[in-house]
């Protein structure tokens, strides 16, 4: 067994772990990243969720999340505008290569593959080392980036799993007592994602066959048919597949309605290695049944995309290397993020900034997704947290406090995945891929700063961490959500610091005061990295007649050059264009630059051209 000593140890190569390791090493700490497989990125790659949710607005594309999007645009020749569930879809191997390239380019970052944690060493109230099958690693700071919070269990760190009741924290959406839902699902259902491939000229039927004619007459197949029978009811086959359309006529299948979500007896994931493997086998078999049913419904011209993932003991080929875990063991930290902390303030579009006991803002990562829970066969009523912006719905933003990364009773450890200190209800908004990248970046920066300053995570001044994130020379990350200030704007850092210093000034609509001169709507490279190439927009120029269809609802008709005979929706991610669209009048001839998305039937507007 090899014995290693390092500054920072990151256990887990998923979404949060890879961001933490990259940021720690970029800051200068000697960093060791240990992953369970040969792919890095977790949800964004190994789990096949290559249609990220949330933080899609340009003002929120900061930090390693923004850097990842820029790299994807460079490496996907067909662009990222394919699906209607996300503005960014890509092939999983593209994301895996990006993360591997970033990690291997850092000389002070060592990456060990195919190792899982087996034992944790503690000295009194401090975690000091982790043992794997072939390695024992001592570190000054250890980060739990495992998909299910495994270090928390190994070290017997106080943590939570599953539901909390309304009586715990008075969360508006929390159940008041046990029910059939809470007894059926202890946590949100994971999904075993798989990819389909269509021939170039294949298009799905608008509706599935009512009686598939190629199912063998077995009881198991009859049960599967019944189980999935209404899977795309109300959508039609084309809309169903275009939900997760990827480059190259591929389709990510991550479908919650009688699809491949599977969460029965999910407690098996944390009971023992044997019970975990039993759950994984059941979830994988469920996905295989669903895939076979889909292929029979779609008919000729569709197949499993068998070269999407490397082969694995379970999964691989067309199937993801691991399930898409939506929930984990959750730390009992210095602070717990509850539903109240992620909901917008009364009459506003943003949540209040988190404050510590000294009433200082301790925000270190931002998110914005609408709270989303998955329980097959059940609906959970959740407090709404969405707003109309840019011609569509988007989630209201919030900021996460540094204290939710720190154990209440143990030193030497930070968490940086879905295992942060958060309630079961609030986890539905904090678990999304871009937010977890932000969490990982904040945790990695905190770990490196603790090494620099010779302190424990709980003693690290939060302002030191915030300024390091804002001033990072490679991927500066926002800690205060603002709709209308882009990271390349000259006043971006000013407003970030201003609201850290003066949280009482933070506007409830999330908009900083406008600059004296209007900001350009033309995308620019992030200001702190002028030497890094940024993919140029592949937007085209279009013209047509503008229609104001309602509040934050826009259309364009009689489009030239023609993309479709029907009117299309206009949407934007740019704050300047957002304001310009609000000011447009119905009937005006409009000229714009943007990208047409056939799956969503929208034009993503990047710039309004001068009036004709």
pLDDT tens-place string over residues 551-603:
999 999 999 998 888 899 999 999 999 999 999 999 999 999 999 999 999 99
Q: Is 214 a residue whose pLDDT tops 80?
A: no
Non-local CB neighbours of 333 within 8 Å, separated by 6+ positions: 403, 404, 405, 406, 407, 408, 415, 420, 421
Q: Report the C-alpha gap between 226 and 221 in whole angstroms.
A: 9
Q: Which residue has the tokens 């039609």?
A: 236
**Residues 608 and 591 sit within 8 Å (Cβ to Cβ):** yes
Percent of the chain with pLDDT over 90: 87
Q: Report the C-alpha gap between 471 and 477 in whole angstroms.
A: 8
pTM metric for this prediction: 0.93
Q: Report the C-alpha gap between 515 and 407 in whole angstroms.
A: 41
Non-local CB neighbours of 25 within 8 Å, separated by 6+ positions: 31, 106, 108, 109, 448
| Phi and psi, residue 117, nearest 5° | -70, 135
**Confidence (pLDDT) at 522:** 52
pLDDT tens-place string over residues 443-479:
999 999 999 999 999 999 999 999 999 999 999 999 9
Q: Is 481 a residue whose pLDDT tops 80?
A: yes
Q: What is the mean pLDDT of the chain?
A: 92
Tally of residues, the chain = 612
**Residues 194 and 291 sit within 8 Å (Cβ to Cβ):** yes
| Chain centre distance of CA 285 | 25
**Confidence (pLDDT) at 179:** 96
Q: Report the C-alpha gap between 145 and 127 in whole angstroms.
A: 15
pLDDT tens-place string over residues 420-432:
999 999 999 999 9
Which domains are present in the chain? 2-162+327-505 (3.50.50.60), 191-304 (no CATH), 540-608 (2.40.50.140)
Average pLDDT (144-168) is: 97
pLDDT tens-place string over residues 35-90:
999 999 999 999 999 999 999 999 999 999 999 999 999 999 999 999 999 999 99
Q: Is 4 helix (H, G, I), strand (E, B) or coil?
A: strand
Average pLDDT (359-370) is: 96
Pairing of strands 135-144, 302-304: unpaired
Under the banding of pLDDT at 50, 70 and 90, the label for residue 514 is confident
**Confidence (pLDDT) at 521:** 59
**Residues 355 and 361 sit within 8 Å (Cβ to Cβ):** yes
Other CB atoms within 10 A of residue 225 CB: 16
């Amino acid at each position: 067994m090899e014995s290693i000593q390092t500054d920072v140890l990151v256990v887990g190569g998923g979404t949060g772990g890879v961001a933490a390791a990259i940021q720690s090493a970029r800051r200068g700490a000697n960093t060791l990243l240990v992953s369970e497989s040969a792919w890095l990125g977790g949800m964004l790659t190994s789990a096949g969720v290559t249609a990220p949710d949330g933080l899609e607005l340009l003002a929120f594309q900061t930090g390693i999340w923004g850097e990842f999007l820029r790299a994807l645009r460079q490496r996907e020749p067909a662009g990222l505008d394919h699906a209607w569930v996300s503005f960014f879809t890509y092939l999983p191997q593209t994301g895996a290569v990006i993360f591997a390239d970033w990690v291997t380019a850092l000389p002070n970052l060592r990456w060990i593959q195919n190792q899982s944690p087996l034992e944790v060493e503690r000295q009194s109230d401090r975690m000091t080392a982790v043992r794997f099958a072939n390695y024992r690693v001592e570190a000054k700071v250890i980060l739990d980036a495992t998909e299910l919070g495994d270090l928390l269990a190994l070290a017997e760190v106080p943590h939570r799993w599953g539901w909390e009741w309304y009586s715990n924290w008075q969360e508006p959406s929390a159940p008041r007592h046990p029910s059939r839902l809470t007894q059926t699902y202890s946590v949100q259902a994971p999904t075993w994602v798989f990819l389909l491939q269509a021939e170039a000229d294949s298009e799905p039927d608008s509706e599935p066959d009512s009686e598939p004619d190629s199912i063998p007459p077995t009881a198991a197949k009859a049960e599967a048919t019944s189980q999935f029978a209404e899977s795309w009811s109300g959508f039609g086959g084309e809309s169903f597949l275009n939900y997760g359309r990827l480059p190259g006529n591929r389709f990510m299948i991550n479908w919650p309605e009688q699809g491949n979500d599977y969460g029965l007896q999910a407690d098996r994931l944390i009971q023992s290695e044997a019970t975990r493997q039993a759950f994984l086998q059941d979830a994988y078999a469920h996905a295989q049944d669903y895939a076979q049913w889909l292929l029979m419904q779609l008919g000729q011209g569709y197949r499993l995309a068998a070269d999407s993932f490397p082969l694995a003991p379970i999964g691989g080929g067309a199937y993801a290397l691991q399930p898409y875990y939506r929930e984990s063991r959750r730390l009992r930290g210095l602070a717990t993020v509850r539903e109240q902390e992620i909901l917008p303030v009364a009459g506003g579009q943003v949540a209040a900034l988190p404050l510590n006991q000294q009433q200082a803002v301790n925000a270190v990562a931002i998110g914005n997704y609408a709270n989303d829970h998955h329980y097959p066969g059940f609906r959970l009523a959740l407090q709404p947290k969405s707003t109309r912006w840019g011609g569509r719905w988007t989630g209201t933003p919030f900021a996460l406090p540094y204290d939710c990364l720190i154990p209440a009773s143990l030193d030497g450890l930070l968490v940086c995945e879905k295992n942060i200190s958060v309630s079961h209800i609030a986890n539905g908004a904090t678990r999304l891929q871009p937010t977890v990248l932000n969490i990982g970046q904040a945790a990695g920066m905190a770990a490196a700063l603790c090494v620099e300053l010779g302190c424990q995570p709980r003693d690290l001044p939060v302002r030191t961490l915030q300024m390091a994130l804002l001033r990072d020379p490679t991927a500066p990350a926002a800690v205060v959500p603002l709709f209308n200030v882009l990271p390349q704007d000259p006043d971006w850092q000013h407003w970030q610091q201003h609201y850290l210093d003066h949280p009482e000034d933070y506007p409830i609509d999330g908009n900083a005061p406008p600059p004296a001169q209007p900001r350009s709507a033309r995308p620019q490279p992030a200001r702190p990295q002028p030497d890094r190439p940024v993919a140029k927009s592949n937007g085209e120029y279009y013209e047509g007649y503008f229609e104001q269809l309602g509040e934050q609802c826009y259309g364009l008709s009689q489009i030239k050059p023609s993309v479709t005979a029907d009117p299309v929706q206009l949407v934007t991610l740019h704050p300047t264009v957002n304001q310009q669209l609000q000011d447009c009048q119905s009937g005006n001839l409009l000229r714009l630059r943007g990208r047409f998305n056939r799956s969503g039937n929208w034009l993503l507007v990047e710039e309004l051209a001068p009036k004709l």
